[in-house]
Homo-oligomer: A and B are copies of this chain.
Amino acid sequence: MEGEPTLRLRVFDLNCWAIRYLSKRRQERVRLIGDTLCQEGFDLVLLQEVWSEQDYSDLKVKLASCYPFSHYFRSGVIGSGLCVFSRFPILDTLLYQYSLNGYPYMLQHGDWFGGKSVGLVIMKISGIIFNVYITHLHAEYCRDKDSYLPHRLVQAWELAQFIRHTSKAADVVLLGGDLNMHPEDVGIRLLCGWTGLQDAFVEATDIKGCKNGCTLVPNNCFTDKSELLPFPLGIRIDYILYKAISSFTVKCEELKTTMGPAPGTDIPFSDHEAVMATLHIQRQGQPVGATLGTADPALADVVTEARTEVGVGLRAAQRQRYSSGRMAVLALLLLLLQAVAALGTLAGLGADQPFPKLSFCLLAFLALGVLVLATGLHLFHTMEVKMLHGTEDQMWMALRALQERPSEG
């Protein structure tokens, strides 16, 4: 295959929604996904939300003959949920855990426990070095008042930086995953602008499946219809992005999404639709050069916009750090007051009045509980402030670099 002029690569990407005990008809759907992947014979499969290692192991056994190479990225409390299956050998892997990923106390939004990350898998196909990235960013629970936007922007920025810094020896970069951002969102513009990645849906010559390439559609029986009310056609939040770095070009021949129920069954693979891209990779006579820099003035605006949002998050985190710190101090003061009162009683002061032992103990425990929780929160928000501040700094450095060297990548 070495030296072959054109390589055709079929990529499959899906957020599997395979949360043990919580996702509906999980095992049935994982079996269905496995069967379809075997039949269809893609080259590369990028799966998210495979939260159970048992599901991964089952898939690995089932797919062993058609996808002999695979990797599961472990992180967080319940795992990263990210895994890759491939027809071609995986040479190396690396995991980067995002520094911010929601709040551990938001139990109803379990993102924090997933340890959201980006996984890198390096492969060599027909002599071409592929850096394949797979990720899943923090969910958007309320678009109008999206309190997780600063965290998602930090993730998008770290994702872009990670790709830029680790892909310098690659010929082709691929990124697949659930980015939880609409195509026009600032995070997507930041990611694409800062890395030079192109959107397979935008570049595709042939598009099949859901209208506008949507991957969260009302037709899917597992989606939450109320969330999609403002978007009757659905939304597009799952992506396949790509770019060629050295002397190669990548073209997207076909982009396809699934449309609700899988063929021959009554259920879809997941609450998301799968994205499938057929890419053509061709060797060029001479290096193409960095793709960054073509739209620099616009890119500076995008970085500024993202930085403003991160700044909003920073100020919110500073407020929360302050109020949790104040709460901890108040609880500590209450405990000290109680200690004084208890010592006073022991010393015989006010011995004529009955000492309310029970309420006293209850109050002490309450104060202690508040102290522990508020201290924990204070530490957490201090870390959050650090990371938001650090990202603001990095973005500022990027802006300076864009202004100083407008034509350099």
The segment out of A59-67, A91-99, A301-309 that lies at the interface is A91-99
Bound together, the chains give a CA A382 to CA B77 distance in angstroms of 6
Residue of B nearest to A120 (CB): B165
Pair A397/B74 contact, Cβ less than 8 Å: no
Pair B74/A387 contact, Cβ less than 8 Å: yes
The proximity string for A residues 103-133 relative to B, scoring 1 for CB distances below 8 Å and 0 otherwise, is 0000000000101000010000000000000
Q: Does A36 contact B (CB under 8 A)?
A: no
Bound together, the chains give a CA A168 to CA B386 distance in angstroms of 29
Bound together, the chains give a CA A372 to CA B368 distance in angstroms of 13
The segment out of A142-150, A178-186, A328-336, A356-364 that lies at the interface is A356-364
Name the B residues within 8 Å of A379 (CB-CB).
Answer: 77, 113
Name the B residues within 8 Å of A297 (CB-CB).
Answer: none
Given contacts A75-B99, A77-B382, A90-B397, 10 further A-B contacts (CB under 8 A): A75-B383, A77-B379, A78-B382, A92-B398, A113-B379, A115-B383, A120-B165, A166-B166, A168-B169, A357-B358
Q: Does A73 contact B (CB under 8 A)?
A: yes
Main secondary structure of the interface of A (DSSP, over half): helix
Q: Does A365 contact B (CB under 8 A)?
A: yes
Pair B92/A397 contact, Cβ less than 8 Å: yes
Which of A79, A93, A169 has the largest count of B CB atoms less than 10 A from its CB? A93
Name the B residues within 8 Å of A91 (CB-CB).
Answer: 401
Pair B96/A389 contact, Cβ less than 8 Å: no
Q: Does A6 contact B (CB under 8 A)?
A: no
Number of copies: 2
Name the B residues within 8 Å of A93 (CB-CB).
Answer: 394, 397
Task: Determine which of B77, B390, B398, B401 lies in contact with A383 in the assembled complex, contact meaning CB atoms within 8 Å.
Answer: B77
Pair A99/B99 contact, Cβ less than 8 Å: no
Bound together, the chains give a CA A369 to CA B361 distance in angstroms of 14
Pair B169/A169 contact, Cβ less than 8 Å: yes
The proximity string for A residues 301-334 relative to B, scoring 1 for CB distances below 8 Å and 0 otherwise, is 0000000000000000000000000000000000
Task: Determine which of B78, B94, B358 lies in contact with A165 in the assembled complex, contact meaning CB atoms within 8 Å.
Answer: B94
Q: Does A57 contact B (CB under 8 A)?
A: no
Pair B94/A97 contact, Cβ less than 8 Å: no
Q: Does A403 contact B (CB under 8 A)?
A: no
- What is the number of residues of chain A that contact chain B, defined by CB distance less than 8 Å? 46
Pair A386/B74 contact, Cβ less than 8 Å: yes
Question: What are 29 residue pairs bridging A and B, where the CB atoms are less than 8 Å apart in the complex?
Answer: A74-B386, A74-B387, A75-B99, A75-B387, A76-B383, A77-B379, A77-B382, A77-B383, A77-B386, A78-B382, A79-B386, A91-B401, A92-B397, A92-B398, A93-B394, A93-B397, A94-B165, A95-B99, A97-B99, A113-B379, A115-B383, A165-B165, A166-B166, A166-B168, A169-B169, A358-B358, A361-B362, A365-B365, A368-B369
Q: Does A284 contact B (CB under 8 A)?
A: no
Bound together, the chains give a CA A389 to CA B398 distance in angstroms of 36
Q: Does A161 contact B (CB under 8 A)?
A: yes
Q: Does A224 contact B (CB under 8 A)?
A: no
Name the B residues within 8 Å of A386 (CB-CB).
Answer: 74-77, 79, 115
Bound together, the chains give a CA A3 to CA B99 distance in angstroms of 40
Q: Does A162 contact B (CB under 8 A)?
A: yes
Query: Nearest Cβ distance between residue A392 and chain B, in whole angstroms?
Result: 10
Q: Does A58 contact B (CB under 8 A)?
A: no
Residue of B nearest to A131 (CB): B165
Bound together, the chains give a CA A94 to CA B391 distance in angstroms of 10
Bound together, the chains give a CA A377 to CA B36 distance in angstroms of 40
Residue of B nearest to A386 (CB): B74
- Given A94-B161, A97-B99, A358-B357: A75 and B120 interface contact (C-beta under 8 Å): no
